[in-house]
Chains A and B, each alone.
Chain A
Amino acid sequence: MTLSSLTLPYAASLRRLFGNRAILAGAIILAAVVLAALLAPWIAPYAPNKLSIVNKLKGPSLSHIFGTDEFGRDIFSRAIFAGRASLLVSLGVVCISTVLGIVLGVAAGYFRRLDAPISRLLDAMMSFPDILLAIALVAALGPSLATVILALGITYAPRLARIVRGSTLVLRELPYIEAAVAMGLPTWQILTRHVLLNLASPILVQATFVFASAMLAEASLSFLGVGVSADMPTWGTMLASGREYMNNAPWLMVFPGLAIVFSVLSLQLLGDGLRDLVDPRLAKES
């Protein structure tokens, strides 16, 4: 069945969504990455930690399509399993920064008194380069999977908070919100039913970009050795451990790197496409 022949209730929206080339391309690449990660135990030809010293540092071949590492482990299998950790960390970061961003952004945008203090705090938080703030937080909290997610979540929360604040400031002045206030609806109901629901699109767009940034940042932290434990394969830890052997075995660097590039690219395409759909004024610019 083609998209144009869909007659489901949401067919028009789906057609619009996937009619956008950027979204379609992004969705296909991301779906491939996510599926590979989810189905890792069935797709991977070898166990990710299976050692085989006789096969160490072998180049790409039919039996090991991405080659093997210094312990003879299959790079392809490890890259697929590493996708799980990389996606999981990024998803966790998006969840934390979205929740924090919504709370701070709505509070600043809806309650006039809170606007100045929260906005200045966001300015201060955004004055730190993301990687630097994240590694300082990881250093303070102690390195572990959870603290990496928390640190990056806090680091990216201001980005979402700014967008949410801006949209809430506009929404607050709209007649239907004024009507809801006049009708005596409790504030929490106005916020959850009328404000939050209307913020869904800008939040979704920004969250997609945060997802992409989180993936790059996680790889950087792991590469620097201040991220998740080196025992856990992520694309960043694979690059970090492969670096020592890159002169003799360049494939150790190439494939995990390409995995990062394709995943981040898919998210950027999705974010761009969604932004064009949400804000058609911007579409003319791309």
Chain B
Amino acid sequence: MTKLALALLKRLGGMVVVLALVATVVFVIVRVTPGDPAAVMLGSDATPQDIAQLRTKMGLDAPLLVQYFQFLLGILKGDLGQSIFLGQSVTQALAARAEPTFFLTLFSILIAVTIALPVGIFSAVRRGTLFDQIVVTLTMVAASVPSFWLGLLLIQTLAVGQGWFPASGYGGPDTSFLERLHHLVLPAVALGVVNSALIIRFTRAAMLDVLGEDYVRTARAKGATERRVILKHALKNAMVPIITVIGLSIAMLIAGAVVTETVFGLPGIGNLVVSAVLRRDYPVIQGALLVVAAIYVLINFIVDILYMLADPRVRL
């Protein structure tokens, strides 16, 4: 077996272990609820019969260990349980709300990377200039802005003030895809701009690191053009930390999406989680946590593979 295949298998094994632990953490979180989760979910008006019924439905009357294995078995079968309030399975509820969250995350990361890579690279190349100082200051400020607050300011100025974009929602079921995308512009900008700060800082730092290396000096000495030195010699070697931070940003974007979707009234997974929390719909909270964490673990795995392709030393 090649070294690459072995390294891949090892990473795959690690991912399975982390996924199992993620499922365990999710299981534990719902069970630490003080008192009876069924009683908490149904509220103070519930009769003892209602509570007993829900306990049976959720499998809460089985011993804890049995509940745990049933939970794991359900996940393997793709069964995340039934929502208490939505009248549909958690998998259906998540699938129905996946589209806005997927496109919001995708556009935000595209906006963040489109801003961050050129600005970060240019800032490193022009280190110490006025441009660089402005970039360093602005990224610091952008990293301090809550994305939901930026979203509210954008709604106020560009949606309510200018009327250029819809202030909230995702359009009705008959809305065209383009119209739905129009609804995503402001939330994606709010999330993307805030998250570009971190990527700019990492890109700048990674570029500064490699620009001081001997091979960059050699490339310059042998007469390579500045463009070639930066894009071919420096950027290629700075890619590993940049890929890492982009992977990390996707996780942060998913977290940001929870709040941003609420601000913009987007019917996505974030909005689903918040309403589930307010209604104590534990199966939905549990399922959403699990799916989002699994996506994050998967992204990390893909980033790991990209590393190996970008830098053969990582395979060792």
Contacts and interface: CB of A to CB of B under 8 A. Distances in A.
Contact of B258 (A131, A138, A212, A246): A131
A278 interface: no
A224 B289 contact: no
Interface in B230-279: 251-252, 254-256, 258-259, 262, 273-274, 276-278
Task: Tell me the dominant secondary structure on chain B's binding face.
Answer: helix
Contacts of B293: 124, 127-128
Contact of A129 (B22, B32, B296): B296
Given A136-B29, A250-B156, A129 B258 contact: yes
A185 interface: no
Contacts of B153: 253, 257
Interface stretch (B49-57, B58-66, B140-148, B170-178): B140-148
A178 interface: no
B227 to A, nearest CB: 23
A113 interface: no
Given A135-B258, A138-B277, A212 B21 contact: no
B144 A127 contact: no
A212 B285 contact: no
A269 interface: yes
B277 A137 contact: no
Contacts of A128: 22, 25, 289, 292-293, 296
Interface string A108-130: 00000000000011011101111
A264 interface: yes
Nearest to B294: A127
A271 to B, nearest CB: 10
A65 interface: no
Contacts of B262: 223-224
A284 B204 CA distance: 11
A130 B277 CA distance: 15
Nearest to B136: A286
B232 to A, nearest CB: 22
Interface residues of A, number: 46
A121 B204 CA distance: 32
A97 interface: no
Given A141-B33, A243-B152, A261 B21 contact: no
B205 interface: yes
A130 B259 contact: no
Contact of A136 (B259, B278, B285): B285
A133 B274 contact: no
A139 B40 CA distance: 10
A138 B282 CA distance: 12
B255 A127 contact: no
B164 interface: no
Interface string B273-305: 110111010100100110011101100100000
A212 B156 contact: no
A214 interface: no
A226 B30 CA distance: 16
B179 interface: no
A141 B34 contact: yes
B57 to A, nearest CB: 19
Interface of A: 120-121, 123-125, 127-133, 135-142, 212, 216, 219-220, 223-226, 239, 243, 246-247, 250, 253, 257, 260-262, 264-265, 268-269, 272, 284-286
Given A260-B144, A261-B145, 5 more contacts: A121-B25, A124-B22, A127-B296, A129-B292, A286-B136
14 contacts: A124-B25, A128-B292, A128-B293, A129-B254, A129-B296, A140-B29, A141-B34, A142-B40, A216-B144, A224-B258, A224-B274, A246-B155, A260-B144, A260-B149
- Please provide the 6 A-B residue pairs with the shortest distance between their CB atoms, ordered closest to farther: A129-B255, A124-B21, A264-B144, A265-B144, A127-B293, A285-B205
